[in-house]
């Protein structure tokens, strides 16, 4: 669902008109950056954007790049009750006509209103569809969604997130700082982060443990100690560059068997993690190429 606001700052509608402060716009270049990572996966596919009117940047992008992408068919529906036969614009993604299009498609690509994104996800999951969705990082912590993320049923695309992590414009012309990231169950896209040759050790860290536990809380922006093998937590903002080759996601702290406190105070929801058995950092000396391809954690 989208609205064209200007030639230089075209935005894609993220939110619902019925939800206060739930309507934002995303740049056209963000759509380009996201889809460029999946072009080979869209060849010969039926693509459906089920939260997008004709002015949506996703719609514009796909209509402008049919030959370049090589998809088979493309449909889109906006969040209205209107039916436009020639454009298959049959309305809200939850109505019967839109669900029929959902059943027909191979891949769903959109940027749904965050206020109803759980409903969107559950519908797409029900029909076992591949998807690429742009959503705030807290999307992965929602009830009914977080277990799928823990189980690696979908991933956060860190590579193209740079184009999506910026100020988003509201309909009234004001801006909001929103961190949005592409999430997809098509494939995990690796990204080369900063050099990890500088290791940190427990003796150099001043991290806190949760009260009465041996669970370490890693400070945002800091590294996981190379010599630490126990349970630890990361903020949700850190999970978009999580290295699944080295560490396993256990659960979100909200799903842990007991309430986790620091200095007697409740904390924001975080990811509980552990180094996996396959990761042996001292087993060999990393080459320069391997070092530059490492992840932040």
Q: Enumerate the β-bridge partners of residue 252.
A: 271
Looking at residue 179, its pLDDT comes to: 73
**15 within some domain:** no
Structure tokens at 27: 């740049």
Looking at residue 224, its pLDDT comes to: 84
Looking at residue 191, its pLDDT comes to: 57
Shared domain for 100 and 242, answered yes or no, is no
Shared domain for 155 and 214, answered yes or no, is no
pTM, two decimal places: 0.78
pLDDT at 22 over 80: no
**2 within some domain:** no
More confident residue, 65 or 16: 65
Q: For the chain, what percent of residues have pLDDT higher than 70?
A: 71
Total domain count, the chain: 2
Last residue of a domain, one of 131, 158, 184: 184
Give the relative orientation of helices 96-104 and 117-126 as an angle to the nearest 10 degrees: 50
Mean pLDDT (the chain, rounded): 77
Shared domain for 206 and 180, answered yes or no, is no
Last residue of a domain, one of 121, 156, 184: 184
Which parts of the chain are beta strand (E)?
Answer: 46-49, 73-76, 107-110, 130-136, 155-156, 165-169, 175-184, 208-209, 216-217, 232-235, 247-252, 261-262, 265-266, 270-275
Per the listing, tokens 């939850």 go with: 94
Task: With H, G, I as helix, E, B as strand and everything else as coil, classify residue 217.
Answer: strand
pLDDT category at 190 given cuts 50, 70, 90 is low
pLDDT category at 16 given cuts 50, 70, 90 is very low
Please check whether residue 2 is in contact with residue 30, taking contact to mean a CB–CB distance below 8 angstroms.
no
**88 within some domain:** yes
Q: What is the pLDDT of residues 39-93, one digit of tens each?
A: 999 999 999 999 888 888 899 999 999 999 999 999 998 876 444 433 444 457 8
Domain of 46: which CATH number? 3.40.50.150
pLDDT category at 241 given cuts 50, 70, 90 is low
Using only C-alpha atoms, what is the Rg of the chain? 21
**92 within some domain:** yes
More confident residue, 51 or 6: 51
Looking at residue 151, its pLDDT comes to: 92
pLDDT category at 193 given cuts 50, 70, 90 is very low
Shared domain for 166 and 236, answered yes or no, is no
* Structural domain harbouring 32: 28-184
Whole-angstrom distance, CA of residue 196 vs CA of residue 200: 10
| Range in 155-164, 191-200, 258-267, 275-284 the model is least confident about | 191-200
Shared domain for 148 and 99, answered yes or no, is yes
Shared domain for 179 and 212, answered yes or no, is no
Shared domain for 54 and 176, answered yes or no, is yes
**14 within some domain:** no
Q: What is the pLDDT of residues 248-272, one digit of tens each?
A: 889 999 999 999 999 999 999 999 9
pLDDT category at 162 given cuts 50, 70, 90 is low
Whole-angstrom distance, CA of residue 233 vs CA of residue 218: 6
CA distances from 226 to 1, 106, 148, 250, 297 (A): 45, 42, 28, 19, 9
**9 within some domain:** no
Q: What is the pLDDT of residues 106-135, one digit of tens each?
A: 999 998 888 889 999 999 999 999 999 988
Looking at residue 20, its pLDDT comes to: 45
b/e map 41-64, b = 16+ CB within 10 Å: bbeebebbbbbbbebbbbbbbbee
Shared domain for 180 and 229, answered yes or no, is no
Last residue of a domain, one of 184, 215, 247: 184
Non-local (6+) Cβ contacts of 2 within 8 A are 11, 12, 13, 25, 52, 53, 55, 56, 57, 58, 59
Shared domain for 149 and 215, answered yes or no, is no
Shared domain for 154 and 235, answered yes or no, is no
**49 within some domain:** yes
Shared domain for 233 and 161, answered yes or no, is no
């Amino acid at each position: 669902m989208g609205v064209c606001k200007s030639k230089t700052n075209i935005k894609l509608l993220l939110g619902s008109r019925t939800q206060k402060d739930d309507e934002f716009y995303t740049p056209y270049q963000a759509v380009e950056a996201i889809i460029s990572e999946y072009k080979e996966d869209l060849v010969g596919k039926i693509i459906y954007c089920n939260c997008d009117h004709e002015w949506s940047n996703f719609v514009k992008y796909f209509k402008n790049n049919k030959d370049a992408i090589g998809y088979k068919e493309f449909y889109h529906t906006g969040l209205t009750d209107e039916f436009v036969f020639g454009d298959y614009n049959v309305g809200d993604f939850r109505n019967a006509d839109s669900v029929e299009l959902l059943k027909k498609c191979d891949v769903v690509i959109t940027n749904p209103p965050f206020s109803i994104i759980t409903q969107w996800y559950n519908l797409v999951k029900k029909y076992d569809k591949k998807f690429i969705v742009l959503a705030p990082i807290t999307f992965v912590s929602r009830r009914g969604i977080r277990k799928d993320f823990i189980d690696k049923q979908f991933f956060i695309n860190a590579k193209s997130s740079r184009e999506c992590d910026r100020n988003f414009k509201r309909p009234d012309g004001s801006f909001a700082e929103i961190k949005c990231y592409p999430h997809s169950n098509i494939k995990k896209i690796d990204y080369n982060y900063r050099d990890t040759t500088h290791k940190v050790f427990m003796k150099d860290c001043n991290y806190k443990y949760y009260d009465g536990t041996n669970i370490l809380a890693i400070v945002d922006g800091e590294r996981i100690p190379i010599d630490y093998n126990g349970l630890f937590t990361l903020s949700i903002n850190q999970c978009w560059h999580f290295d699944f080759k080295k560490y396993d996601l256990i659960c979100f702290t909200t799903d842990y068997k007991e309430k986790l406190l620091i200095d007697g105070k409740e904390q924001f929801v975080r990811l509980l993690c552990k180094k996996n058995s396959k990761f042996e950092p001292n087993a060999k000396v990393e080459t320069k190429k391997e070092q530059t391809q490492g992840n932040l954690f």
